[in-house]
Every structure is written in C-alpha cells, then in structure tokens.
Amino acid sequence: GSSLLRSQGFVDGRWVSAASSFPVLDPATGKELAKVSDCGAREAQDAVRAAHKAFQSWKCQTAKERSGLLRKWFDLLIQHKEDLAKLITAECGKPLKESLGEIAYSAAFLEWFSEEARRVYGDVVSPAAKDRRILLIKQPVGVASIITPWNFPSAMITRKVGAALAAGCTVVVKPAEDTPLSALALAELATQAGIPPGVFNVVPCSREKTPSVGEVLCTDPLVRKVSFTGSTATGKILLKHAAGTVKRVSMELGGHAPFIVFDSADVDKAVAGAMASKFRNSGQTCVCSNRFLVQSGIHDAFVEKLGKAMDAELRVGHGFEPTTTQGPLINIRAAEKVEHQIKDAVSQGATIIRGGKRLEGSFMQPTLLANVTTDMLCTSEETFGPLVPVLKFNTEEEALSIANASDVGLAGYFYSQDISQIWRVAENLEVGMVGVNEGLLSTPEASFGGVKQSGLGREGSKYGIDEYLDVKYMCFGGLTL
C-alpha cells in the first residue's frame, strides 16, 4: 500500500508540505508510523480558497457527472480495501477484521451519495395569485469544512464528504491528529477517480495546531458550512466560532447510550447484542452502549452469561494479530480515563465481575461491573473504552427515567419481546437512534444523529444531503395566462 501512504497535506490537487511535521504513532506500541506535514492557519486558508475557486465550476457539473465521479471513488475504495484497512489498523489500532468492515462502511457512503446525487428534487407550488408561478429549487451551500475524529478515520470522512460532493459543495477536511493517514489515502484515491483539483482538500495538523486550524475553518467568510464529529465540549467551541459568520452547522457529538434489558428479553440475544454494541473498536464509538440497565428478574442470568461471553470471545492484542478482537485504546489518556471510572465505581461499592485492570501502554482489560449506581462516573460520563457497568432496575418507568436523565441522546438500545413495551420505550427514549433487539444499527441508508447535546442535523439517509443544500424560492410574476 505504499502508494496510499501519503505524508503531506493535499490542497488544490497538489501534495503540499508545511514548515514542520508531526508524528503519527501506532497506538499498540507507541512507535512512529510516519511524519505528516503539520498544516497551520496559512495552509487552511489556502485550502479554503482552493475549495472556493473549485466550487464555481463543481456546482455547475450535472448531478449525473458528480454521481459518476463518486461512484468511481467508491470503486477504488473497494479495489484497495486491504491496503486501506491496514492503514486504519496501524494508526487507530482496531483489529484488521474491523478495519475491513470500516472500509466497506466508508465506501458504502460514497455509493449511497453517488445514488442520492441525482435525487435532489425541488418543488412546483400552487400559487394564490393567478398571474404567477412558484418554484422552490435546491442549491449547494458552498465550501464545507469537515472536521473528523480518530475512531473511524475513513468512514467519518466519507459520511460527510459523500453528501457534500453529491450536493455540489467542495470541502476542506481536517482529520484527527491521531489518524491523518486514512484521510490522505482518500485524497489519493479521489485524484485517481478524477475528482477535480480543489474539490477535496485535506489539511492534517498536530494537536498543537488544531485550535488555529479549526478556527480558520469555522470563521473564514468563504466557508458556508461546518460539519463536525467529536466531543460535545469541542462542538460547543466550534459552534461559537461559526456563529460569528452565521454558518450552517452539523454537529455529531458525544453519546451516552443506554442498553436496557427487560425481563421479557431473549437473554442470549441480549448478551450477543451487548457484546457487539460495547466491544466494537474496544468501546471507542459514539454509539457504544455506556450504561447497561437490566431488569431485576433477568439480571443475574444476564450478568453471568455476559461474563462467560467475554471470556469466550474477547482477545486483547495488536490489531494485526489475527485472533485479536480488542486492540489498544487510542492513547494513554484514553486508558487512564477508563481506569479512573473503574476506581471511582469500585470505591462506591461496585463489584468487578471480569477484568478491571489496566494493561501495558494504552491496553485495557475488558471489564464487567455489577452493583453499579447512578452516582458513579461511568453512569454520567461517556467512557469510550471496554467497560460494562450494569445497573439493576425494577420497572419500565424507572429504566426510562434513568436512561433519559442525561444531557446527551445519540443512540439507545433495548431488548424486549413485549410489543406494546417496544412501542412505548422506542418512542420515549430521548435519543436520535434506537436499536430494538439489535446492537449494531449504523447503515448509510438510515439517518445518523442525536438529540439534546448530542448534536444538530443528520448524516446518511435521504436527509444527509439536505445539510449541504439551500432552498431558493423563485417567484415568476406578471404572467398573462
């Protein structure tokens, strides 16, 4: 995959160096994988200008032409999936099987939006006055700044960029400092697909340069749209920046997903769903189950079976080892956070049923806690690690009240075989996505996004492209009919 391993920024169709570089590390070993150009405010401004210039012609291409280019880009991702997956495992640490899954998911957004590109419809509206005709047309908003996290280094980019390019927008991507290599590989394949210079730009930068680059991308008057996936705290900073020039904003922020198991649930299916939802990417996804609420009648059976499933299925190791299911956390800080949550819970009376220990570097033992209460940190802040805290509850009302007592609401999951209960709980959970007897729900054709402080807007689905479109009203008057 040497041709896909790029270490410079990508602006206006050219690979550009910056004054300095920053290291990209293997989270499993801490060893350096590459040195990448450390773009600053100047490179970010250059990229915005390039995107603005390219927008003038890109918006005039037909939807069919843009659709064809996105389709070619999709084909190239599939063709190079092994090399792209190796880059993800190297820089983000997830097991290779999951990285291959991410590339399939990442490519699927390009496929979906290549198809949606041709389905951006306006309206012809019946007028109140006889001498006029009313049309509503949709037009691309302009340059979009795309700021993405490290946990899905490829798919978080295509989910936004696929929609933006389909709509006729051009983009500047700022990938997470931990995982810029996947973004730069996407740029290489975009060029091979024939996407014109300036339409897709990437400005990688270090943690130190991130605030100044982020500020340019959210305040430059030529940028009309900001789409961000990351923490709620950072999202609020970017929203403040974007307010100054009243930009369109999409925010996909933190979650704190409840996973509720009711007495009527099929325990084996609930355990399988919990394993999939919690331990994918070692618990480092924004839709990972964070709080496990289990009804008293089924509680002991669930905890026992989940412990056994953890023993049987989970293997901690380097992502390139074929038996690994649990790679490292992204860095030492991430492991320290999980360790802190476990110590806090134990100090307040929680029992460790499995795991509980920090391993070398940023590795963490998958951990199961029982006797958890709502006073503990793990039930009030997102974990982003392989920790399962189980709270026992008695009634449906109690479970909903605990689940909804959060200022975020991204995903929620529950297992039940009572049809009336399924409708009640699905409608009353304060989240943007609900998994009913299902632990993995992300897919390009469905909407992705949250309520409350989990964000603004939706990605994927037929709604994802609307985030990059303005509606223009055209009134044809003075007609003699």
The catalytic residues are: 252, 286
Distance CA 95, CA 265 (A): 30
> CB–CB of 184/6 below 8 Å?
yes
Distance CA 417, CA 92 (A): 38
Residue the block writes with tokens 């302009």 = 142
Residue the block writes with tokens 């802040």 = 381
DSSP 195: P
Angle at 259 between CA 254 and CA 260, to 5 degrees: 145
Strand 387-393 and strand 289-295: the pairing is: parallel
Distance CA 394, CA 262 (A): 9
Burial class (CB in 10 A: 0-12, 13-18, 19+), 183: buried
Strand 257-261 and strand 469-476: the pairing is: unpaired
Residue the block writes with tokens 């999409």 = 250
Neighbours of 245 (CB within 10 A): 13
* Extended strands (E) in 143-244: 143-147, 170-174, 200-202, 223-229
Distance CA 390, CA 413 (A): 14
Neighbours of 102 (CB within 10 A): 24
Helix (H), strand (E) at residue 473? strand 469-476
> CB–CB of 460/112 below 8 Å?
yes
| Encoded amino acid at 184, one letter | L
- Which residues, other chains included, contact 114 with Cβ-Cβ below 8 Å and sequence gap of 6+? 67, 68, 70, 71, 73, 74, 162, 166
